[in-house]
Structure 1
Amino acid sequence: MAKTDAQLADGQAATAARRRMFLVGIACALAGAGLWGVSGACAQHLFSHYGITPMFATAVRSLVATLFFFGVLVARRRYMLELIWKSEPRVKLFFLVFGVALFIDQFAYSMTIAFTNAGTATVLQMLSTVFVMLFTCVMGRHLPKGNEFVGLICAFAATVLIATQGDLGTLVLPAAGLFWGLLNAVCVAIYVLTPRAAGLFDRFGSFAATSVGMLVTCVCSGIAYAIQLAMGAGAPEAVASMDAFGWLVLIGGLAFLGTFVSFGLYLRGVAFVG
């Protein structure tokens, strides 16, 4: 009997621990999503007041975030870098997909803001949950549950209202803004699903996996901005004319809070909650 009571106590303790982890995951995901919204407001301010390009913003935010991610990783979990480096080619391919999705997500979000505004871009990005749900339903070979189906209808209805302002015969939202917003949502779904499906979080932890993904993003955005500069479209004069407040918004708001802290919290929440 004593053994049964001990097993029951252990089971209750494990259930309580899982519940705590679930709640912590929700809190992390909400905080990360909120800070991503802050990054949208920062990007809109930079685009409208300083005239920098979305690609420059993406390159800077990914560079700064990568430096912070790897600074913490080297200081606390350096062994993870060796494990990732020695991992099989299949795992490295998943890291590449993860990082490219992060890159397109950041750039597409900035482009959506440039064509619309931060609020619209953030709402369109939330359609990523629809793509995640549809993917999991297809992979699980089942239809959406009742509450999931209601959420799906509401998400599409909200998108239609944003795009038409209630007049179904007119597209108020610029087509380019809608395109970049939907692309952003698809890429969010990819970078949320890829590390979990590939076991990157389970094997390396969310922080180490996000660090490597952000490094791939940094390389992609750096190459893309260099190409933009070579084509004469990088607006270097706008960068040169930025004042101290502009750099504070770019580095502190967009890069540190809106990228490093935001992605770190959000993907940690995804690792806990699913």
Structure 2
Amino acid sequence: MGSSELRETAPGEGVHAGEAFFRKRFWRGIVCTLVGAALWGFSGACAQFLLSNYAITPAFITSARMLGAGLLFLIVLWATQREKLFSMLRDKLTMGRLAVFGGVGLYLCQITYAIVIGYTNAGTATVLQCTGIAFVLLFTCVFLRRLPRVRETVGLVAAMGSTWIIATQGDVGTLALPLPGLVWGIANGLSVAFYIMFPKSLFAEWGSFAVTGLGMLVGGIAATAVWLSGILDGQAGALPVMDAAGWSVLAVIAVVGTFAAFALYLHGVSVIGSVKGSLLGAIEPVSATVFAALWLGTAFTGADWIGFALMIAMIFLVTGEKPSMPDDAAASKSDGEDHVGKMASES
């Protein structure tokens, strides 16, 4: 009798333990997502510091941060996922797609972002980068042949309104943001949309960490080739003259603002889901703004703050209403119970 009762209650206890584990893992995912997005904002402030205080070019910063981060990803993959790494390297189709993902998507995202910082500042560049979410929505509607929903339409209006306020400071006749900065900012948004949408099937097949790692390495090689050629700035392979502080900040951008930021953010998104991950990513422009203001003394006007608020509102509107449960969780109850049971057994 007693042993039978134990057998009947054990599964229920296992489910409760699994649910507790799930909640703990979910909150760890939230923390990783927030920290990763905040580190992206921090890297923007670091790049602004270098561009403002040293004779350093966006091409060199992008090359150093992407190649450095790519090599760190490669080391981790070699140590933890060696078989998967070799399988990916042997697959010509996968490597071709990774070349597009890293050499076009990730590289263009990084170089255009650095260029915008040079024309404006880290906070403004990060907000303009968020227009990528609006472009994702537009391209999705085109591909699926549907009109934007009401919430999505309001989000797009907020995004465009934010860009206009930041660029003109509310005065139609005055372009407060340099035209090249605005143009490169839009290009940056388009590159963000590309690198978000392009690798979905690669993530499904190989996992986000491995794909991002090899993509970052490929992008770093492409960035280094561009820097050595001098195509962008006419300074072919010229190393900047910097003191210890400058080189230290550059190292921080590569290790903390690129490798750690991508690793933490993507891990968090894998736990809490893509929609909530994008939602929590709204902390990036706030982080860049705060770091630029506190560390670099960047002054922001009331119009800037209105623009920042509109952009963050756009992200909330487009990505969802309630960040209370994983958006990618359980298309059905049974799936959710299976995942909980699996996680409980893995713990």
Tell me the TM-score normalised to structure 1 length.
0.86
State the alpha-carbon separation in 1 of the partners of residues 160 and 26 from structure 2: 28
Residues 11-160 of structure 1 aligned to structure 2 (within 5 Å): 25-89=29-93, 91-99=94-102, 100-160=104-164
User: Gaps (5+ residues) in structure 1?
Assistant: none
Greater CA drift, 9-18 or 28-37: 9-18
Which SS does the other structure have where 2:230 is aligned? helix
Asked if 1 retains the 8 angstrom alpha-carbon contact of 2:228 and 2:237, the reply is no
What RMSD over aligned residues (CA atoms) do the two structures have, in Å? 2.9
Amino acid at match of 2:220: C
User: Gaps (5+ residues) in structure 2?
Assistant: 1-8, 275-347
Distance 1:77 1:28, change over 3 A: same
Asked if 2 retains the 8 angstrom alpha-carbon contact of 1:96 and 1:213, the reply is yes
Which SS does the other structure have where 1:247 is aligned? helix
State the alpha-carbon separation in 1 of the partners of residues 243 and 132 from structure 2: 35
State the alpha-carbon separation in 2 of the partners of residues 155 and 231 from structure 1: 31
What is the total number of aligned residue pairs between the two structures?
A: 267
Greater C-alpha Rg: 2
Greater CA drift, 24-33 or 54-63: 24-33
Pairwise CA distance, 1:63: 1.6
Which SS does the other structure have where 1:52 is aligned? coil
State the alpha-carbon separation in 2 of the partners of residues 156 and 230 from structure 1: 29
Asked if 2 retains the 8 angstrom alpha-carbon contact of 1:192 and 1:270, the reply is no
Amino acid at match of 2:235: A
Pair 1:190-2:190 in alignment: no
Amino acid at match of 1:257: V
Q: Which residue number corresponds to residue 226 of structure 1?
A: 228
State the alpha-carbon separation in 2 of the partners of residues 27 and 146 from structure 1: 31
Higher RCO (C-alpha 8 Å, min separation 6) = 1
Q: Which residue number corresponds to residue 266 of structure 2?
A: 267
- Map Cα deviations across residues 9-64 of structure 1 (whole Å, 9 max, x no partner): 99999998887776655543332221111111111110111120000101110121
Asked if 1 retains the 8 angstrom alpha-carbon contact of 2:226 and 2:232, the reply is no
State the alpha-carbon separation in 1 of the partners of residues 18 and 153 from structure 2: 32
Asked if 1 retains the 8 angstrom alpha-carbon contact of 2:57 and 2:233, the reply is no
Q: Which residue number corresponds to residue 217 of structure 2?
A: 215
Q: Which residue number corresponds to residue 321 of structure 2?
A: none
State the alpha-carbon separation in 1 of the partners of residues 19 and 154 from structure 2: 30
State the alpha-carbon separation in 2 of the partners of residues 211 and 118 from structure 1: 25
Pairwise CA distance, 1:137: 2.4
Among the aligned pairs, what percent are the same residue?
Answer: 46
Residues 160-199 of structure 1 aligned to structure 2 (within 5 Å): 160-196=164-200, 198=201
Asked if 2 retains the 8 angstrom alpha-carbon contact of 1:28 and 1:268, the reply is yes
Which SS does the other structure have where 1:51 is aligned? coil
Residues 239-258 of structure 1 aligned to structure 2 (within 5 Å): 239=240, 241-252=241-252, 254-258=253-257
Asked if 1 retains the 8 angstrom alpha-carbon contact of 2:227 and 2:237, the reply is no
State the alpha-carbon separation in 2 of the partners of residues 131 and 42 from structure 1: 27
Greater CA drift, 80-89 or 167-176: 80-89
Amino acid at match of 1:245: A
State the alpha-carbon separation in 2 of the partners of residues 19 and 97 from structure 1: 37
Distance 1:151 1:230, change over 3 A: closer
State the alpha-carbon separation in 2 of the partners of residues 56 and 74 from structure 1: 27
State the alpha-carbon separation in 1 of the partners of residues 256 and 250 from structure 2: 10
State the alpha-carbon separation in 2 of the partners of residues 193 and 10 from structure 1: 38
Asked if 2 retains the 8 angstrom alpha-carbon contact of 1:164 and 1:170, the reply is yes
State the alpha-carbon separation in 2 of the partners of residues 207 and 78 from structure 1: 13
Amino acid at match of 1:106: Q
Amino acid at match of 2:127: V
Pairwise CA distance, 1:191: 1.1
Q: Which residue number corresponds to residue 206 of structure 1?
A: 208
State the alpha-carbon separation in 1 of the partners of residues 150 and 97 from structure 2: 33
State the alpha-carbon separation in 1 of the partners of residues 71 and 199 from structure 2: 21
Distance 1:105 1:148, change over 3 A: same
State the alpha-carbon separation in 1 of the partners of residues 159 and 82 from structure 2: 42
Amino acid at match of 2:246: G
Tell me the TM-score normalised to structure 2 length.
0.69
Amino acid at match of 1:262: A
Distance 1:234 1:36, change over 3 A: farther
State the alpha-carbon separation in 2 of the partners of residues 140 and 28 from structure 1: 32
Distance 1:256 1:225, change over 3 A: same
Asked if 2 retains the 8 angstrom alpha-carbon contact of 1:52 and 1:235, the reply is no
Which SS does the other structure have where 2:173 is aligned? coil
